[in-house]
Amino acid sequence: MTSEGIEKAVFAGGCFWCMVKPFKEWDGIVDVVSGYMGGHVENPTYEDVKKGDSGHLEVVEITYDPSIFTYEKLLELYWPQIDPTDAGGQFHDRGHSYTTAIFYYNEEQRKAAEKSKEELANSGRFAKPIVTDIRPAETFYRAEEYHQDYHEKEQQHYEEDRAKSGRDEFISEYWK
């Protein structure tokens, strides 16, 4: 899965631009890369994924040191970034490529993801069911370079898009 002592986790949470920053700012996180996973086309482009032609989801691949930042902590950080009850996309981004999923690399990650999903479902936080998929990891395809660290490269556009999305209002209502 990774180099000794370093592991990977992959999360789909709608637009990958909004999923990088929340993970990148922690000790123990080595890297966060925007990309695609879960489809049927090799080497998909952003256009393929956005049109829905490839079957992929927009994801972030997180490389982390589990001795500093555990997989369980990643899950705790993941859930409050999304609307886990929306099967049609996330916020103003609609369609399959923007749906939510946790991709696991091993049995420990699968069990931890299932447990966290069950705990969220039983918490009473949401009236609707939790629809986030938990799936085996597949080939990760790195997104085009202009998508990497978009929140830093195109800060004004990122902030405008995020403000229009409704994500922050949802987070404030359900997670703060």
Integer Cα distance of 89 and 100 in angstroms: 7
> Are the CB atoms for 5 and 67 separated by under 8 Å?
yes
* 18 is annotated as an active-site residue: no
Per the residue annotation, which of 15, 62, 75, 120 is the catalytic one?
Answer: 15
> Are the CB atoms for 113 and 150 separated by under 8 Å?
no
**Amino acid making up residue 4:** E
Q: Give the catalytic positions in this structure.
A: 15
